[in-house]
């Protein structure tokens, strides 16, 4: 693990034991996050984004979950730590912002008490010092009338305010790594922009690494430094944001890009959609997992699984035909024109 890496995930596999048998939700996923860097993890629902983050936080039920690989953080493999050690890391060194603030905040306590509790659990401060720190971090989020808000209960706050409180709670112990799991999905556009600006500012102030989980390529373009595109439990493209948007190499990534409306988009035209649907994790295809939906798929794609290979410096892709696609010499299919 490099000294500049906050976290280094290597060959992570997450297996669930279900009534239908063993299901692998995350399969051979590797990535790292550096200090003062935002890694975007993007993909459709069910691609493994949230399971990956929950594996890092060790929030999954170990009675029905098996892990393989390593999640190295501060010289320790998080997958091998006992619950006491994990409890000291969670919320202090690694914090998480969840999408659903309603279930993440306790309705029976004021938001101030909840932030103070988080700080006292890890910071060992007396209540007065913890209250001062809570006010400072809530004020930093830009929430109006912070003293008043700290005395209020979650139901008295708007969705945007609750999300700011969640961010304050996640940042009050000044973590080394922040995981944000689609924290702006339910917010209006203006509030979303404010939340994104806040996360970027806090990342810089704390020299903190950020894993930002989203399905929105527009958000990725706005705040991320690098991006890992996931599909059916695997990373299928890993790149800097600049390289990815300039020249996406995987057909799935190209499809995600085309599905984004732009200023030049014809308002009368239908938005592009990727044909088909994501296969079930209980019936993962033998070859490339995207083959059934890919306009460039060949017999080799159906029968043999590609590995994640280096295409250019800092840009990896999991596709048999990425070179031909990039050069415009992809296998000829009637559907191929839809994505070129």
Beta bridge partners of 229: 42, 237
Q: Among 78, 76, 75, which residue's Cα sits nearest to residue 67?
A: 78
* Mean pLDDT calculated for residue range 90-114: 87
Confidence at residue 91, expressed as pLDDT on a 0 to 100 scale: 86
Other C-beta atoms within 10 Å of 189: how many? 8
Q: What's the rounded Cα separation, in Å, for the pair 212 and 209? A: 10
Residue pLDDT, tens place only, 126-168: 889 989 999 998 998 888 999 999 999 999 998 888 988 988 8
pLDDT for 192 equals 84
Q: Which pLDDT value is given to residue 112?
A: 94
Rounded to the nearest integer, the mean pLDDT of the chain is 89
Give the span between the Cα atoms of 81 and 273, in whole angstroms. 43
Q: Which of 31-35, 79-83, 97-101 has the lowest mean pLDDT?
A: 97-101
What value, to the nearest 5°, has the Cα angle with vertex 55 and ends 49 and 61? 115
- Structure confidence by residue, pLDDT tens digits, 312-321: 999 999 999 9
Burial of 103 (0-12, 13-18, 19+ CB in 10 A): exposed
Give the pairing of strands 21-34 and 309-312: unpaired
Over range 17-23, report the average pLDDT.
Answer: 88
**pLDDT on residue 335:** 47
More confident residue, 337 or 302: 302
- Percent of the residues in the chain that have a pLDDT greater than 90, as a whole number: 58
Q: What is the pLDDT of residues 227-277, one digit of tens each?
A: 999 999 999 999 999 999 999 999 999 998 887 766 666 666 666 778 888
Q: Rounded distance, CA 261 to CA 239, Å?
A: 22
Cα dihedral value 181, 185, 188, 194, nearest 10: 20
Higher pLDDT, 125 or 115: 115
Q: Where are the beta strands (DSSP E) in the chain?
A: 5-18, 21-34, 38-42, 65-73, 76-77, 94-97, 177-181, 209-214, 226-231, 234-240, 309-312, 315-317
State the pLDDT at residue 264.
64
Residue 332: pLDDT band by 50, 70, 90 thresholds?
low
Question: Among 62-76, 184-198, 262-276, which is the least confidently predicted range?
Answer: 262-276
Supply the pLDDT for residue 159.
84
Distance, CA of 4 to CA of 123 (rounded, Å) = 25
- Please tell me whether residue 68 adopts helix, strand or coil conformation: strand
Question: Taking Cα atoms as reference points, which of 23, 53, 3, 25 lies closest to residue 234?
Answer: 25
- Find the mean pLDDT for residues 64-78: 95
**What CA–CA distance (Å, rounded) separates 254 from 248?**
6
The two beta strands, 38-42 and 209-214, are parallel
Of residues 195 and 337, more confidence is placed in 195
Q: Is the pLDDT of residue 79 over 70?
A: yes
The SS3 call for residue 293 is helix
Residues found in the chain: 340
Q: What is the radius of gyration, based on Cα positions, of the chain? A: 21
Which helix (H) or strand (E) is 88 found in, with range? helix 83-89
Q: Is a pLDDT exceeding 80 seen at residue 90?
A: yes
What are the tens digits of pLDDT across the range 198-236? 889 989 999 999 999 998 888 999 999 999 999 999 999
Of the candidates 215, 217, 222, 218, which has an alpha carbon nearest to the alpha carbon of residue 199?
A: 222
Q: 22-30, long-range: CB within 8 Å, 24+ apart, which pairs? A: 23/281, 23/282, 24/233, 24/281, 24/284, 25/51, 25/233, 25/281, 26/51, 26/52, 26/55, 26/233, 27/233, 27/234, 28/69, 28/234, 29/69, 29/230, 29/233, 29/234, 29/235, 30/69, 30/235, 30/308
pLDDT confidence of residue 66: 94
Residue 310 has a CB neighbour count (10 Å cut-off) of 10
């Amino acid at each position: 693990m490099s000294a500049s890496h906050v976290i280094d995930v290597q060959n992570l596999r997450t297996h669930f034991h279900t009534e239908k048998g063993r299901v692998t939700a995350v399969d051979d996923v590797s990535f790292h996050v550096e200090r003062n860097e935002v890694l975007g993890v993007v993909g459709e629902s069910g691609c493994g984004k949230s399971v990956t983050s929950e594996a890092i936080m060790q929030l999954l039920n170990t009675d029905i979950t098996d892990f393989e690989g390593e999640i190295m953080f501060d010289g320790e493999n998080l997958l091998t730590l006992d619950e006491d050690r994990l409890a000291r890391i969670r919320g202090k060194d690694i914090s998480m912002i969840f999408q659903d603030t309603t279930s993440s905040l306790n309705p029976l306590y004021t938001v101030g008490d909840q932030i103070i509790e988080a700080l006292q659990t890890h910071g060992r401060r007396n209540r007065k010092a913890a209250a001062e720190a809570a006010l400072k971090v809530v004020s930093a989020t830009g929430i109006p009338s912070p003293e008043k808000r700290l005395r209020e209960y979650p139901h008295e706050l708007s969705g945007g305010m609750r999300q700011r409180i969640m961010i304050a709670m996640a940042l009050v112990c000044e973590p080394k790594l922040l995981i944000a799991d689609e924290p702006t999905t339910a917010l209006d556009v203006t509030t979303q922009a404010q939340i994104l600006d806040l996360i970027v500012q806090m990342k810089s102030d704390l020299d903190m690494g950020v894993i930002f989980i989203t399905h929105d390529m527009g958000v990725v373009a706005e705040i991320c430094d690098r991006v890992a595109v996931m599909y059916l439990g695997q990373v299928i493209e890993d790149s800097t944001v600049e390289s990815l948007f300039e020249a996406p190499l995987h057909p799935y990534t190209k499809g995600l890009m085309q599905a984004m409306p732009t200023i030049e988009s014809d308002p009368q035209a239908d938005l592009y959609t990727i044909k088909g649907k994501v296969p079930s994790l209980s019936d993962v295809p033998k070859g490339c997992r995207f083959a059934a939906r890919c306009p460039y798929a060949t017999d080799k794609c159906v029968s043999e699984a590609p590995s994640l290979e280096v295409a250019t410096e800092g840009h990896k892709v999991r596709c048999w035909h990425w070179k031909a696609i990039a050069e415009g010499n992809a296998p000829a299919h009637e559907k191929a024109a839809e994505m070129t």
